[in-house]
Chain A
C-alpha cells in the first residue's frame, strides 16, 4: 500500500515538507538490512514514508494520525539493528534524528536528561567535563544515550555505571495511542530524578526484559543516572585514525587483562573485585575480541588472534582501575594483585606492557568505540547469542553451555572460526552478570539455517537448564517458546500490548503482537 495524497499531506502538515518523504530512494536507504542477524534478504519491507519530527508534540501528532489512518509506525533513534525495520506494509518510519538535545545534566542529583538522538559519546564527553560519567551502551558510543533506546543497555562500564534498565529515571513516553505519559517524579512535579514516584510508575510495562524494541510507542526523553568520574575532563588522545592512543596513560589509571585456569577461578576473582569495589570497568574478554579491538585491520586481527590465543590459559577478564586519589589507586591496585594471586589470574602483560597499546585499549574500552571492530569488521555480520541478566554464575554457565553449540557451526564452515569462548561480565560491583557469544559470518542460506538451528539449541539450553529468558528473546515466536515455561508471561505481555495499543498502531513484530 502507498500513502494516498491526503494522508501524505496530513503527515507533511505535522513535520513540514522537508522532513517527510515517500520516495523509494529515501525509503530504500532505510530498508538496507543491518549486519545484526542479517539473513538472506538484502532489503527489509519498505516503509510507506519516513518522517522526522523535531519534538514530542510532533511525535504525538504523528502517532495519533497513524491511529486515525489505520497505519502503523516504528520509531528509531540511532537505527542500528533489525528491530528498526518494518516487517510488512503499512508502516511509517519515525526517524528521531532531529530530537538530539541534551536537556539537562544535573550535577547535584546525578542525572542527565536526553532526547533519543544524543549519542553515547556526546553524553559521556559532556559528563566527563563535569567530573561525571554515564554508562555506555556496549554496542558502542555511536548508539543512543537514551537508557531505554534499545535492548539491555549493558556496557563496558556496567561494573561501576550499571545498565539501561537500572539507570532509567523519569521518562517521557508517547504511548501507542498518542497519549503523553510522564513517569515518576516527572508526572508529579516535572522533575526528572526518579522513575517510580512520586507519580505513576510503569517501568515494567514500558521496558519488559529487553525493551519493546520499538513496538510500544515512542520514548521521547529520559533521565539516566550519572556516576562520579575521577579522570581528566577529556582523554589525551593522540594520533590519526585508526591509530589513536594517548601519549601517556593518565595518572591513577590502570588496565590489566587476566586469564584464569577455570571459570570457577574467574567467577571467584570477579566476585572479589566486585565486593571490594576496585574496578571502574570489569569486562569479560576472549582472544578473538581483544584481537579485533586492538587491530586496525582484519589482517592484523588474524595475526593478533593467533598470538593472544597462545597467551590465555582460560576464561578471561579486563579490568580498568581509576583511583580517586593516589592512595585510593594504590589500595585498588594492591587489592587487584592480591585477588589475582589468590585466584591464579595470569596477567597478559604482553598486551599492557606497551603504554601505547595499553593506553589505546584503556580509552577504547572506556569510550566503547571498538564494538564495531569486534563484532562487524571480520565479516560484516553478527549473529551471536546475547544472554540474559541474572546472577553472574548462572549467566556464565548458560553462555558457556551455549558456546559449545557454536562449535558445530564452525565445523561446518558456516561461521568464522574465531575459536572464541563466550565472555561474561559482572555488573554493579555485585553478583549480577551478563554473558554473550560472538558469532560472525557472511550471510547465506546455509549459514542462516545453521544460525536458526543454533538458536533452537540455545533455547533448549535456556529452558531445560532453567537459565531464565535470554536477551535474544523477542518477537512472537520466541516469546511463545519461553512464555509457557516462565509463568506464561507472554500472555501478560500480549495483554499489555493490547491494552496500551488498542489500534495496533505501534509495529510490534520485534516485540510481541496481539495475535490470539
Chain B
C-alpha cells in the first residue's frame, strides 16, 4: 500500500473531530473526554487524526511537501490508534494506516529525523532498537534452565523483546514468565541473541526494516519448529501477530501475550494462583495489546462503484473491538487479594502511556506529558499500583512516577501472578 491507496479513506474524513474524543457514548463527565495525546498537547487541528488525514490529502495534491514542520507534526504522535477506534465507531474508513503511510512515504523519500535514523542504524547493525551490546541481550535469563531455540527444537518460544532484554527493571517479569511456564510443565525456548521484532521501526515509518526483521525472525522461528510464540511485550505481540500477518510471513504461528497464555493455563488448571497478594490496583491497556491487538484482517478488493462506500468483496474494518481486554483482567482477577478498579478511560479508549510511535525517542518531554496525564488518572482511582502488560508502558510510567515523586507502584501482570504462584 502507498499513500495514494488511502486517498479515498483520507477524503472521507468529514472533519467531525470524533477522533479527538473517546467514543462519545462513554463520556462520563467533563474530565477524561479526550483520547488523543497529540491534539491534547499541541492543540492545533493538524495534530489530530483528522488533521493528519487532511495533510495526507494535501501531500497528494502537492499543496505541501515534507518539511521540518510536517515531520514535527507527523512524529509527535504515539501511533496509539485511539483516533482510529473513535472514528470507526461511526465511519467506514482507515485512519491509523494512512497516518502511518505518511511516515513510510517520508522515510522512503529520505525525509527522516536524525534521532530515528540513529536508532534504525542500530537495528540494522545489531538487531536491536535499544542501544546496548547484542552479546548481552540474553543476560536476563542467566541462571534459568531454559533452552536455546536456535539450537534445539521448541514448540513454544518466549520472545522477551528489546525493552525487556536491555532494562533490568523488566527482567523480573521475563524471568517470572519462564518460571511460570516451567511450573505449568511448558518447556519454552528463548533465543539468547534474539533480535528486534521490528514493530517500532514500522511505527516510525521504516517499513522495509520492519519487514527485514520479520523475515529474519520468522526464519529462526520456523527452524525451531515453533507453533506458539509468547511475549510479554505488547509492541512485540502486535508485530508478530498483526504486522507479520500483514507482511505475509506469519504463517500458522500462534502469537500469544503472556496474559493470554497464562490465562489459558489458569483456566486449564495448570497454574493455580493461591497466595494472597494484598493490593489495590488498576489496569492500563497497552495500545498494541488492546485496540491494536486484534487480529489482522486480510482483504484485497476495490470500492464498488456508486454513491455508498461499499467494497467488493465486503471489507471488515479493524475497529478495536476484538483487542485483548479480557485475559489481563481475568489473570488479575484470579489472584487472591487483588482488588481491581478501572480507570475512566479503559480498553479500546484507554489513554496511551506516551512511549509509542518513536515519541519517547523524538520528544521525551511529550512522552512524559502523556504518561503524567495517565498517572493523574490512576491517582483518581485511589489504588496503590498500576498493572500493565508492556515494558514500554511500564518504563514510561516508572519514569513519570519517579519524576513526580509519587508512591505509585508499577507491575507487570506476570510479576503479580508469579507472586501468587511461585
- Do A and B originate from a single complex? yes
A372 at the interface (CB under 8 A from B): yes
**How far apart sit A469 and B84, CA to CA, in the bound complex (Å)?**
39
Q: Check B308 against A26 for contact (C-beta < 8 Å).
A: no
A394 at the interface (CB under 8 A from B): no
B321 at the interface (CB under 8 A from A): yes
**How far apart sit A377 and B307, CA to CA, in the bound complex (Å)?**
11
Instruction: Tell me which residues from 29 to 75 in chain A have a Cβ below 8 Å from any Cβ of chain B.
Output: 29-36, 42-43, 50, 52
Q: Check B307 against A126 for contact (C-beta < 8 Å).
A: no
B343 at the interface (CB under 8 A from A): no
Complex interface: stretch among B43-51, B155-163, B197-205, B207-215: B43-51
Q: Check B14 against A35 for contact (C-beta < 8 Å).
A: yes
Closest to B27 in A: A121
**How far apart sit A26 and B46, CA to CA, in the bound complex (Å)?**
5
B245 at the interface (CB under 8 A from A): no
A52-B44 in contact given A35-B13, A297-B317 (Cβ < 8 Å): yes
A29-B25 in contact given A242-B89, A372-B90 (Cβ < 8 Å): no
Complex interface: stretch among A361-369, A457-465, A481-489: A361-369
A23 at the interface (CB under 8 A from B): yes
Partner of B307, one of A23, A24, A97, A440: A440
Among the interface residues B55, B88, B89, B348, which one has the most CB atoms of the partner chain A within 10 A? B89
Return chain B residues, CB-CB under 8 Å to A369. Answer: 23-25, 89-90
A98 at the interface (CB under 8 A from B): yes
* Complex interface bits, B60-77 against A, C-beta within 8 A gives 1, otherwise 0: 010110010110010000
Complex interface: stretch among B28-36, B225-233, B355-363, B400-408: B28-36
**How far apart sit A380 and B307, CA to CA, in the bound complex (Å)?**
10
**How far apart sit A298 and B93, CA to CA, in the bound complex (Å)?**
11
Q: Check B90 against A376 for contact (C-beta < 8 Å).
A: yes
B375 at the interface (CB under 8 A from A): no
A125-B44 in contact given A373-B90, A378-B308 (Cβ < 8 Å): no
A244-B307 in contact given A19-B43, A377-B90 (Cβ < 8 Å): no
Instruction: Tell me which residues from 71 to 98 in chain B have a Cβ below 8 Å from any Cβ of chain A.
Output: 73, 85-86, 88-93
**How far apart sit A241 and B82, CA to CA, in the bound complex (Å)?**
11
Return chain A residues, CB-CB under 8 Å to B21. Answer: 119, 121, 142
Return chain B residues, CB-CB under 8 Å to A296. Answer: 319
Partner of B15, one of A24, A32, A235, A240: A32
Nearest Cβ in chain A — how far from B45, in angstroms? 5
B314 at the interface (CB under 8 A from A): yes
Q: Check B309 against A380 for contact (C-beta < 8 Å).
A: yes
A24-B25 in contact given A78-B17, A440-B307 (Cβ < 8 Å): no
Q: Check B33 against A121 for contact (C-beta < 8 Å).
A: yes
**How far apart sit A379 and B307, CA to CA, in the bound complex (Å)?**
6
* Complex interface bits, B302-320 against A, C-beta within 8 A gives 1, otherwise 0: 0000111110001011011
Q: Check B14 against A25 for contact (C-beta < 8 Å).
A: no
B264 at the interface (CB under 8 A from A): no
Nearest Cβ in chain B — how far from A244, in angstroms? 5
Nearest Cβ in chain B — how far from A228, in angstroms? 19
Return chain A residues, CB-CB under 8 Å to B366. Answer: none
B12 at the interface (CB under 8 A from A): yes
A234 at the interface (CB under 8 A from B): yes
Nearest Cβ in chain A — how far from B284, in angstroms? 17
B417 at the interface (CB under 8 A from A): no
Return chain B residues, CB-CB under 8 Å to A102. Answer: 30
Nearest Cβ in chain B — how far from A241, in angstroms? 5
Closest to B347 in A: A240
Q: Check A240 against B325 for contact (C-beta < 8 Å).
A: yes
Q: Check A28 against B63 for contact (C-beta < 8 Å).
A: yes
Q: Check A237 against B64 for contact (C-beta < 8 Å).
A: no
Return chain B residues, CB-CB under 8 Å to A380. Answer: 11-14, 93, 309
Return chain B residues, CB-CB under 8 Å to A141. Answer: 24, 27
Closest to B29 in A: A125
Return chain A residues, CB-CB under 8 Å to B320. Answer: 240-241
**How far apart sit A23 and B362, CA to CA, in the bound complex (Å)?**
21
Q: Check A24 against B63 for contact (C-beta < 8 Å).
A: yes
Q: Check A242 against B321 for contact (C-beta < 8 Å).
A: yes
Nearest Cβ in chain B — how far from A143, in angstroms? 9
A243 at the interface (CB under 8 A from B): yes
Q: Check B88 against A241 for contact (C-beta < 8 Å).
A: yes
* Complex interface bits, B137-152 against A, C-beta within 8 A gives 1, otherwise 0: 0000000000000000
Nearest Cβ in chain A — how far from B287, in angstroms? 14
Q: Check B70 against A25 for contact (C-beta < 8 Å).
A: yes
**How far apart sit A145 and B321, CA to CA, in the bound complex (Å)?**
29
Instruction: Tell me which residues from 357 to 400 in chain A have a Cβ below 8 Å from any Cβ of chain B.
Output: 363-364, 367, 369-370, 372-373, 375-382
Closest to B53 in A: A32
**How far apart sit A56 and B146, CA to CA, in the bound complex (Å)?**
65
Closest to A129 in B: B29
Q: Check A416 against B13 for contact (C-beta < 8 Å).
A: no
**How far apart sit A242 and B25, CA to CA, in the bound complex (Å)?**
10
Return chain A residues, CB-CB under 8 Å to B323. Answer: 240
Return chain A residues, CB-CB under 8 Å to B15. Answer: 32-35, 79-80
Closest to B88 in A: A242
Would you mind naming 25 contact pairs between A and B with Cβ atoms under 8 Å apart? A28-B54, A28-B55, A30-B45, A32-B54, A43-B57, A43-B58, A43-B61, A79-B45, A119-B33, A124-B27, A125-B27, A240-B320, A240-B323, A240-B325, A241-B88, A241-B89, A241-B321, A241-B349, A242-B88, A242-B89, A244-B26, A364-B25, A369-B25, A372-B16, A377-B90
Given A32-B53, A79-B17, A237-B25, 20 other A-B residues pairs in contact with their CB atoms under 8 A = A26-B45, A28-B58, A29-B45, A29-B58, A32-B50, A43-B58, A50-B44, A52-B43, A125-B27, A125-B28, A142-B24, A241-B23, A242-B23, A242-B90, A298-B309, A367-B27, A372-B14, A375-B14, A378-B307, A442-B307
B contact residues vs A (CB 8 Å cutoff): 11-18, 21, 23-30, 33, 43-46, 48, 50-55, 57-58, 61, 63-64, 67, 69-70, 73, 85-86, 88-93, 306-310, 314, 316-317, 319-323, 325, 347-349
Nearest 3 Cβ contacts at the A-B interface: A35-B14, A32-B54, A29-B46
